[in-house]
């Protein structure tokens, strides 16, 4: 546990179950051609990307029941370190039905078990045990029913007492409330940024001017991901725009999570803004080139980072 410099938090993890069906029809008996299960949840995805990292990563969170045990088994098989609190109820399963003929995916997502009793307190106790040896804390994804949308803000305040840098990747009230506690880094995608700013952006200038406003609240780095169009990074008045790598896109699931993992790695290793941007965009692009819920590993992103084209923009 001593070398786990990057801690990830997934309060509402899941098992992703993907089935392939020829010609999926509702209201009929459908037969599967292929089934696959993966560990899911945004913080867990970040830990998966970092599983071959020399910085070490530890996944924290709340799991439950048999599905929770299956999740732990999958992560053990992937060399991901974890230390979960076992709460009540079953860890949720998110079903993805892929129709091989139409190539359409239907998602059926469970909300996850409600957090009850002392579970959240046990989580905080665990967090406080690991924070003294950590450098970066990643808070990512949705939270389970029964959990307040100020939960990330509370965790950020605790992390700051231990001088641990927080990277927040969330949407809606979780992001807005989290920003209130001033994390070091946020990584909204463009839709999450528009939600936060309550406006649609029509050009890059508008995006950058909104980043300036958010950064004035004390946030060191804002990374806005733009899907296939790459990302914009804003740090202390410096703006870098990075282009995605030209990859054969197979599945964009987890691209943003890969980018967050790379930012966490770059923070622990004190990369400058240029190197951080290149590594982050390389990680996202590499994950886009992988099937289903497969994610890149940080070593691959580091090897490819030099190929990412960046442009420094003079702040408006």
Ligand X SMILES: Nc1ncnc2c1ncn2[C@@H]1O[C@H](COP(=O)(O)OP(=O)(O)OP(=O)(O)O)[C@@H](O)[C@H]1O
Q: Where in the sequence numbering do the catalytic residues fall?
A: 257
- Per rule CB under 6 A, is residue 197 in the interface with ligand X? no
- Per rule CB under 5 A, is residue 178 in the interface with Mg ion? no
Cα gap 87→68, rounded to integer Å: 9
Cα gap 193→260, rounded to integer Å: 15
Q: Which stretch binds ligand X (CB under 6 A): 33-41, 54-62, 207-215, 227-235?
A: 227-235
> 3-state class of 145 per DSSP?
coil
Q: Which ranges constitute the DSSP H helices of the chain?
A: 42-49, 65-77, 119-130, 151-161, 172-180, 190-197, 204-215, 255-268, 273-288, 298-304
Name the minimum Å distance from CB 184 to ligand X: 18
Name the minimum Å distance from CB 227 to ligand X: 4
| Residue 244-283 contact track with ligand X, rule CB under 6 A, x = bound | x--x-x--x-xxxx-x---------------------x--
Q: Which of 257, 220, 156 is nearest to 265 (CA)?
A: 257
Largest CA distance in the chain: 59
Binders of ligand X in range 152-191 (CB under 6 A): 189
- Per rule CB under 5 A, is residue 256 in the interface with Mg ion? yes
- Per rule CB under 6 A, is residue 230 in the interface with ligand X? yes
Name the minimum Å distance from CB 227 to Mg ion: 10
Residue 207 near residue 197 (C-beta atoms within 8 A): no
Binders of ligand X in range 284-303 (CB under 6 A): 284-285, 288
Query: How many residues at the interface with ligand X, by CB under 6 A?
Result: 20
- Per rule CB under 6 A, is residue 227 in the interface with ligand X? yes
Residue 151 near residue 178 (C-beta atoms within 8 A): no
Using CA atoms, how far residue 145 sits from 110, 119, 132, 171, in Å, is 11, 13, 29, 16
Question: Residue 73's Cα: distance from chain center in Å?
Answer: 21
Judged by beta carbon, residue 131 or residue 224, the one nearer Mg ion is 224
Contact footprint for ligand X (CB under 6 A): 189, 225-228, 230-231, 244, 247, 249, 252, 254-257, 259, 281, 284-285, 288
Residues binding Mg ion (CB under 5 A): 256
């Amino acid at each position: 546990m001593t070398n786990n410099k990057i801690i990830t938090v997934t309060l509402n993890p899941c098992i992703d179950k993907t089935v392939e069906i020829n010609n999926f029809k509702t209201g009929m008996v459908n037969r599967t051609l292929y089934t696959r299960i993966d560990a899911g949840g945004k913080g867990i995805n970040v830990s998966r990307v970092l599983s071959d990292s020399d910085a070490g990563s530890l996944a924290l969170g709340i799991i439950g029941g048999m599905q929770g045990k299956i999740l732990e088994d999958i992560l053990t098989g992937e060399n991901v370190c974890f230390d979960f609190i076992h709460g009540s109820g079953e860890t949720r399963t998110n079903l993805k039905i892929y129709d091989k003929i139409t190539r359409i995916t239907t998602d059926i997502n469970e909300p996850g078990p409600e957090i009850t009793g002392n579970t959240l307190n046990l989580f905080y106790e665990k967090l406080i045990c690991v924070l003294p040896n950590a450098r970066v804390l990643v808070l990512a994804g949705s939270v389970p029913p029964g959990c307040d949308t100020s939960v990330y803000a509370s965790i950020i305040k605790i992390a700051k007492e231990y001088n641990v840098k927080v990277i927040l990747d969330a949407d809606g009230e979780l992001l807005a409330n989290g920003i209130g506690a001033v994390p070091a880094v946020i990584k909204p995608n463009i839709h999450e940024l528009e939600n936060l700013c309550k406006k649609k952006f029509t050009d890059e200038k508008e995006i950058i001017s909104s980043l300036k406003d958010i950064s004035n609240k004390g946030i060191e780095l804002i990374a806005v991901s733009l899907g296939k169009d790459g990302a914009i990074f804003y740090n202390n008045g410096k703006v870098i725009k990075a282009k995605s790598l030209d990859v054969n896109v197979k599945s964009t699931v987890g691209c943003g999570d890969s980018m967050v993992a790379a930012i966490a790695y770059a923070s622990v290793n004190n990369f400058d803004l240029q190197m951080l941007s290149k590594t982050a965009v390389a990680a996202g692009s590499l994950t886009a080139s992988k099937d289903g819920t497969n994610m890149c590993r940080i070593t691959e992103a580091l090897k490819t980072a030099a190929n990412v084209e960046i442009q420094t923009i003079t702040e408006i």
